[in-house]
Amino acid sequence: MSIRRTPRGTTALDRLRERYTDVERVCSKCGHVDTDGGWSAKTTGSTVLYRHICPSCGAIETRTLSLK
Ligand SMILES: [Zn+2]
């Protein structure tokens, strides 16, 4: 075997989540920068669903990402 597979489950997902946490923490509604919070990630198998709730105005941001 020449291809090393990433372990299933948390590792890949955590990495993706960290990435999102770094990139988008500014609320598009009120501009609040959420330095403490982050995105919560949930996977349905082939798709990752990200959700972030602004602590300032309560706006909910969602992103979906397809896993390959
Ligand atoms: Zn906001």
Q: What is the pLDDT of residues 38-62, one digit of tens each?
A: 788 888 889 888 888 999 999 998 8
Taking residues 8-16, report their average pLDDT. 68
Is residue 49, in this structure, part of any structural domain at all? yes
Q: Are 34 and 54 in contact (CB under 8 A)?
A: yes
Residue range 19-23: average pLDDT?
57
Check if the beta carbon of residue 48 is closer than 8 Å to that of residue 41.
Answer: yes
Contacts of 52 (CB under 8 A, 6+ apart): 24, 25, 34, 37, 38, 39, 40, 60, 61, 62
Assigned domain for 62 exists: yes
What is the distance in A from the centroid of ligand 1 to the CA of 26?
Answer: 8
- Tell me, in angstroms, the distance from the centre of ligand 1 to residue 24's CA: 12
Amino acid at site 49: L
User: Separation of 33 CA from ligand 1 center, angstroms?
Assistant: 8
Residue 18's pLDDT is: 65
Q: How far is the CA of 37 from the centre of ligand 1 (A)?
A: 12
Distance 13 CA to ligand 1 centre (A): 25
Domain that holds residue 60: 34-68
Tell me, yes or no, whether 13 lies in a domain: no
Q: For the chain, how many structural domains are there in total?
A: 1
**pLDDT band at 25; cut points 50, 70, 90:** confident
- Is 27 domain-assigned? no
In a domain, 46, yes or no: yes
Query: Within the chain, where are the H helices?
Result: 10-23
Confidence of residue 8 (pLDDT cuts 50, 70, 90): low
